[in-house]
Structure 1
Amino acid sequence: MSWLRFLLQLATVALAYFVASIPPILLFGKTNAGMLGSVVLSMVAALVVARFWLSRDGCLKHAWSLRPPENISRTLALAALGTGVIIALFAVGAAVIDALGLPPIDVSMVLAYVTQGPISFMLWVVLVAWFAAGLGEELLYRGFLLDRLMRLRGMRGRKWPAAIIQAALFGLPHLYQGWGGVLVTASIGLFLAWLRFANRGNLWACILAHGAVDTIMLSLAYSQSLGWLR
């Protein structure tokens, strides 16, 4: 794959994501419905365009390896390992961010919507933690992007350079959390690439770990808002 074709594919996916995020905000404003609609619709649009390119290049099944795992126990074990490691990366990352003198990761904007009530909490878990993040981001970054990078002229088959680049691109959209959020998210993206490699290319361990971590984080935030945790 040429770099020009790669950049074209990446740009169209990013454009679809951005454009689709706007209508729900225009219709509902920055309300819960507007933000949820924006997150979900933008992910759907990006996945549709990514699928178009993968299908056109005959790479869909390889890039989006969602076949039932050959070894379910191994996949579940890797997902559990991934969940634990990602939570540890958040903890270590917080210490590193503090040591670097960077502001702590700020996710207050998201949590303000999540903690509005039980229905809001459930919608954010299902639509964001599992669909947009767990499934969507894994298909986009560890699926589409990682596959495209590993087919690039001069990088073909080179796992780790591709993994590092996708991790950096995974971190940048989290700039709303501050640069600390970008660094931690990028490190998680690099680990998730390893997790896909460890599971022989199958994405299910990544999806399960990603969805589980986000669910845990949202649950802790919601429990804290109810006064269950201090």
Structure 2
Amino acid sequence: MRHSTGELGKRALWALPLLAPLLISGIGALFSVAIVVIAIFTVKSAYAPTMALVWRGWGPSLALGAAVGVATALGFALLVDPVLSAVTGEPVDLSSFAAVEGNLPNYLVLLAIGLLFGGIAEELVFRGFVIGWGAELFGKPMALPLAIVSACVFGLAHMYQGWTGVISTGLVGLIFGVLYVACGRRLLPAIMAHATNNFIGVTAIYLGIGL
């Protein structure tokens, strides 16, 4: 199948936020966010599928997202992560957040980052742009395969947590991606799920609970 130069350009632009976390260690996701923000305001076809937000109303969107977030946080803390740690021989590396335990100012800073950057910005990139606009570019049947691609890069963007953290985060990203697709590629449930999951995780670190 032949594609116009403009269509190929759009596909290249779509791929850039996926490449940034792989090519730029640590801060690649920041470049991904910047690319997406520029893209949705300069490429007409990118805005609507990326920014489609509400699924069946605000209440159902937020309630479903919160439920998935709680289930994900607890399920991974109590079951998935221990199994992954046993298989890989190493736990998820959360040493980067050691200064948060028992420190309220640090907790509030990390919580704000987790809710705003993690919950909103990362979902805009990895679900809204990569899957939402990607499904428009490559065809709607590609939504689930794109969710897998998105989850893999999402996991690798968390390499600072070690390979166990990469796998764990990738699986979490897959859950958020499947939720996004199941909700008709509407972003709010995934945003709420991600924010809820991060809220529980960051709070557990602050309290020294070990979730």
Which TM-score tier does this pair reach, normalised by the shorter chain?
Answer: 0.7 to 0.9
- TM superposition shift of 1:5: 4.4
Kindly report which structure 2 residues correspond to 1:125-144, keeping only aligned pairs within 5 A, or say none.
125-126=111-112, 128-144=113-129
By relative contact order (CA 8 Å, sep 6+), the higher-ranking structure is 2
1:66 matched residue in structure 2: 53
1:223 matched residue in structure 2: 207
Aligned residues of 1:47 and 1:140 also touching (Cα < 8 A):
yes
Aligned residues of 1:13 and 1:49 also touching (Cα < 8 A):
no
Q: Structure 1 unaligned runs (5+)?
A: 22-37
In the alignment, which of 149, 169, 174 is matched to residue 134 of structure 2?
149
**Partner Cα distance (1:12, 1:183) in 2:** 20
Aligned residues of 1:64 and 1:143 also touching (Cα < 8 A):
yes
1:176 matched residue in structure 2: 160
* 2:206 partner SS: helix
CA offset digits 1:64-85 (Å, max 9, x no partner): 2235x54233213311321133
Q: 1:221 to 1:135 in 2, by over 3 A?
A: same
Amino acid at match of 2:118: A
In the alignment, which of 146, 152, 158 is matched to residue 162 of structure 1?
146
- TM superposition shift of 1:194: 1.6
2:72 matched residue in structure 1: 86
**Partner Cα distance (1:217, 1:64) in 2:** 26
- TM superposition shift of 1:130: 0.8
1:27 matched residue in structure 2: none
Pair 1:194-2:178 in alignment: yes
Q: 1:125 to 1:58 in 2, by over 3 A?
A: same
Pair 1:101-2:75 in alignment: no
- TM superposition shift of 1:211: 1.1
Amino acid at match of 1:137: E
Between stretches 130-139 and 212-221, larger displacement belongs to 212-221
CA offset digits 1:35-64 (Å, max 9, x no partner): xxx79xx63x53332132234142212212
1:24 matched residue in structure 2: none
Aligned residues of 1:171 and 1:184 also touching (Cα < 8 A):
yes
Pair 1:76-2:76 in alignment: no
4+ runs of 1 displaced by more than 6 Å? 16-19
TM-score, normalised with respect to structure 1: 0.74
TM-score, normalised with respect to structure 2: 0.80
**Partner Cα distance (2:17, 2:198) in 1:** 27
- TM superposition shift of 1:213: 1.4
* 2:45 partner SS: coil
Q: Identity of counterpart residues, as a percentage?
A: 23
- TM superposition shift of 1:169: 1.1
Q: Structure 2 unaligned runs (5+)?
A: none
- TM superposition shift of 1:162: 1.2
2:11 matched residue in structure 1: 6
**Partner Cα distance (1:134, 1:12) in 2:** 17
Amino acid at match of 1:102: G
Pair 1:119-2:90 in alignment: no
- TM superposition shift of 1:139: 0.5
1:207 matched residue in structure 2: 191
**Partner Cα distance (1:13, 1:209) in 2:** 21
**Partner Cα distance (2:14, 2:174) in 1:** 22
* Matched residues, number: 202
